[in-house]
Amino acid sequence: MNSNKSCGCKGIRSCLLCEDNKDKIENVSEKKEKVTLKYCDLCKKAWAWGFHPNHTGDSRDFEGIYLHEEFIDEILEAELIDEIDKTVYSDSQSGRRKQDYGPKVNFKKQKVKYEVFTGLPKYSEVLYTTLTALPILKDFIPVELCNLEYIPERGSAIDPHYDDFWLWGERLVTINLISETVLYFINDQDSNIEVQVTLPPRSLVVVFGEARHKWKHGIHRDDIQNRRIAMTFRELSQEFEKDGKSSEIGEKLKDIALTFNGTAVGTIPKSS
């Protein structure tokens, strides 16, 4: 590893800016024999081969993905990118950059503070309206938007992980901008299986149910061929909902979020 790095990587994470030899770190786990299954949104199963309805080979049910292609049009996509790029990004792990609109959270200590949170950004209001018009998201109240930027030049990727269960609720909602990528899913019980969900540009993906709870998700470096921005909205867990033990802070977070008056946490708007 290069100690003169200027990136956001910590611990075992790395990107092209901090690796001396990029082959050293990436894909150690991929040396293991792996069965890759591609998720088909038409039959809600993951298959080894072929396009619907002519799939062949191994298959398995894969529950917990809602995929909506062309969720936004190219005009709105361009407007969103334009707005997003007006705000400074901060370096994040594994060659990503990010902008965060949400509470300050210490996941280890399970502490959440709303004082720094000024709301979701103005440009996301139109998305909130369109998202909550979908039956699957009709009661969805986002209290965080995280914009992640991936580019091939930095070897951007995200290691397989679960999104936190204490703070974040059932549905993880992502709008995929600019370029296609593949969101992959793995779990420790079926350790040789990888389920891949292709996300076209302008698509919406909602991850819930088994895909949220049983499977970890990630994005391989090789699946970032062009710049990509992921806008991920998160809702609160039951603990922060009415009658939950942290409902007061939950209400506060929702009120702040829906002012749509926010600036990114820890960053300042660009001066021009």
Ligand X SMILES: O=C(O)CCC(=O)C(=O)O
> What are the distances in angstroms from CA 142 to CA 54, 173, 247?
38, 9, 15
Q: How far apart (Å, rounded) are the C-alpha atoms in residues 259 and 261?
A: 5
Does 137 interact with ligand X (rule: CB under 6 A)?
no
Torsion, Cα 122 227 218 76, to 10 degrees, reads: 30
Q: Can residue 65 be called a binding residue for ligand X (CB under 6 A)?
A: no
The one-letter amino acid code at 2 reads: N
Could you tell me if 95 and 15 are in contact, meaning their C-beta atoms sit under 8 angstroms apart?
yes
Instruction: Candidates 147, 179, 203, 232: give the one binding ligand X (CB under 6 A).
Output: 232
| Contact partner, 148, from Fe ion, ligand X, none, Cβ < 5-8 Å per class | ligand X
Under the binding rule (CB under 6 A), the answer on residue 230 touching ligand X is yes
37 binds, among ligand X, Fe ion, none (CB under 5 to 8 A by kind): none
Q: Which is nearer to ligand X, 55 or 62 (CB)?
A: 62
| Residues 154-193, interacting with ligand X (CB under 6 A) | 158, 163, 174, 183
Residue with smaller CB distance to ligand X, 55 or 131? 131
Q: Does 219 bind ligand X (CB under 6 A)?
A: yes
Binding of residue 253 to ligand X (CB under 6 A): no
Nearer to ligand X, 131 or 219 (CB): 219
Per-position DSSP letters for 34-96, written without gaps between them: -EEEEEETTTTEEEEE--TT--EEEEEE--SEEEETTSS-HHHHHHHHHHHTTBPPEE-GGG-
The verdict on 163 binding Fe ion (CB under 5 A) reads: yes
Least distance (Å) between residue 82 CB and Fe ion:
25
Q: Kindly state the number of chain residues that form the binding site for ligand X, as judged by CB under 6 A.
A: 10
Task: Point out the residue whose Cβ comes nearest to Fe ion.
Answer: 163
Residue of 117, 122, 83, 123 whose CA lies nearest to 100 = 117
Please give the Cα distance from 118 to 238 (Å, whole number).
Answer: 23
What's CA 155's distance to the chain center, in Å? 17
Interface with ligand X, residue 217, by CB under 6 A: yes
> What are the residues binding ligand X (CB under 6 A)?
146, 148, 158, 163, 174, 183, 217, 219, 230, 232
